[in-house]
Structure 1
């Protein structure tokens, strides 16, 4: 059998979780996610953007996410991110807000807006804790009072998943994430022991790994993602280098300007000292204060001060 493709590739992820024939797979995954967060389970979902052959692996738009609606009208968005885009938090809020506001049509009341849930599965460490599953809501800082339940954001960080500390026999979300993380077929039996619906996801992955067209689309998407990641990394490094270079150039210019200013001040001070010495010599010769001031460019007050220093 050909080598298994990586289910973390968002194109492949959508084929496994976002197709109509695998809607039950997505429903089980969502319920395992909500169960771990102590949220009510779903009975049914409707796919809003099911996978089609028209989905382009090199499309720059975010078409590789999975969107669904519950029977209560709530909207759910699931997205897989293989590489760190360095803007994940703001990007998440942006796409959540688009999902939320897309519900309103002209003249509709705000009261018709339904709850929106975003689930981000990321292949990198993002948050400053060791939990692989973090859930965010909108609450008051001191009392914890919830402003609204309309916003719910999940981050599932695959690198934080420690297989050694998880009891696979208990089933649950961790089994699904271990599958996405790259569990090998010889580990699948343990994963599916208490998560039978995982078997369908695994079968889909095996089928796609053997399908020539799917593999070509997968490789095209993988290349696109790698190219995008390289560009972002280059931009990030350029920004850091640019900042560093800017500081160095600023210091250099500051030193140069400081030296120029120092030289200019030194020359000016030298000129003033020369005027004073000339005035002192003329005072000793008995010239009038007004005449000395005119000759040296000093004020009469300065010449008087110098005259007193001679007494």
Structure 2
């Protein structure tokens, strides 16, 4: 039977990755994102959610703040929509995490890397097929590293292609993408077979705990509704903007048409006067564009000047 709990709901996401009771899940996730470059062996959750009644008010802050045993700082967040200014906000949060480590007069060598990880259920970089984007301070060509003190990792879930077979998923990033995209429809046994990792078995237990605990299930439903409402609001805003743009375009087209009509009428009036002054036959001007009428008017004025009439 499917667990029926979506891990991309921010409340669930924080219980999975922000609970000191389940550090193995957080360690596995961080090591998957950071790869072979860093191997974290211990992590401390700095703003834990313990799942107790008196902790529920803390859910207004749904990012996970963590620190590993080497002093590196982490901000982990889930985004189910694409808010305006996301790139700038990620850069701002990471920079704030970095500079907030020291006070005036402290040695800059005391700074530890600040690493932001955003799991995004939307696409920010359509020009790139990469699911996992890793941003650092590098030279334009990438051969020179200024510092690894500022890092931003982005995981764009819609770019993940769910495999059609039931093979075991061994690649760590693919495993987490699959978990975020499909865990809601999987049973705990399917999760165990699919990933064959103690961390994902533990993650399945957290989802089951939320499902069978009335208070946590209620919090989950509230956050799920809030996220759906926000998604609907953003979709409505996009559609409204599209409709307004369409209407504005029609209005501008009509206004341009009226202005062009007035210009054609005025040009025809001047052409008739010039023809009368010149005493020339009146040829049909039907179907002539505004540009062609202007050329005809210019030619008639030239003829008038040649006759010595100003």
| Global fold match (TM > 0.5) | yes
Q: Secondary structure at the match of 1:182?
A: helix
Contact 1:169 1:190 in 2 (8 A): no
Choose 1 or 2 for highest CA Rg: 1
Partner of 1:189: 192
Partner of 1:144: 143
Whole-Å Cα distance in 2 between the matches of residues 187 and 124 of structure 1? 26
Q: Secondary structure at the match of 1:253?
A: helix
CA shift for structure 1 position 19: 1.3
Aligned positions of 1:1-311 closer than 5 A: 3-35=3-35, 38-51=36-49, 53-55=55-57, 59=60, 63-85=61-83, 87-106=85-104, 108=106, 112-127=110-125, 128-142=127-141, 144-159=143-158, 160-164=160-164, 168=168, 170=170, 172-183=172-183, 184-185=186-187, 186-193=189-196, 195-274=197-276, 305-306=308-309
Can you list the C-alpha shifts for 1:162-219, whole angstroms capped at 9, x where unaligned? 33489626463433332222231231222452x2122222111111110111111111
Whole-Å Cα distance in 2 between the matches of residues 265 and 142 of structure 1? 59
Contact 2:66 2:75 in 1 (8 A): yes
Whole-Å Cα distance in 2 between the matches of residues 169 and 258 of structure 1? 64
In structure 2, relative to structure 1, the CA distance for the partners of 1:303 and 1:29 (3 Å cut) is: closer
Q: Secondary structure at the match of 2:220?
A: helix
Partner of 1:290: none
Whole-Å Cα distance in 1 between the matches of residues 258 and 129 of structure 2? 49
In structure 2, relative to structure 1, the CA distance for the partners of 1:143 and 1:136 (3 Å cut) is: closer
- Segments of 5+ residues of structure 2 without an aligned counterpart are 280-303
Can you list the C-alpha shifts for 1:117-173, whole angstroms capped at 9, x where unaligned? 111212234433443322222322235322332222222233314334896264634
In structure 2, relative to structure 1, the CA distance for the partners of 1:165 and 1:192 (3 Å cut) is: closer
Whole-Å Cα distance in 1 between the matches of residues 16 and 260 of structure 2? 65
CA shift for structure 1 position 114: 3.1
TM-score, normalising length: structure 2: 0.76
Contact 1:2 1:210 in 2 (8 A): no
Larger displacement relative to structure 2 (86-95 or 218-227): 86-95
In structure 2, relative to structure 1, the CA distance for the partners of 1:86 and 1:168 (3 Å cut) is: farther
CA shift for structure 1 position 275: 5.3
Whole-Å Cα distance in 1 between the matches of residues 75 and 306 of structure 2? 85
- Segments of 5+ residues of structure 1 without an aligned counterpart are 278-300
Contact 2:123 2:156 in 1 (8 A): yes
Total equivalences in the alignment: 277
TM-score, normalising length: structure 1: 0.76
CA shift for structure 1 position 68: 0.8
CA shift for structure 1 position 34: 1.7
Can you list the C-alpha shifts for 1:240-287, whole angstroms capped at 9, x where unaligned? 22223222222221121121122223324434554566xxxxxxxxxx
Contact 2:169 2:195 in 1 (8 A): no
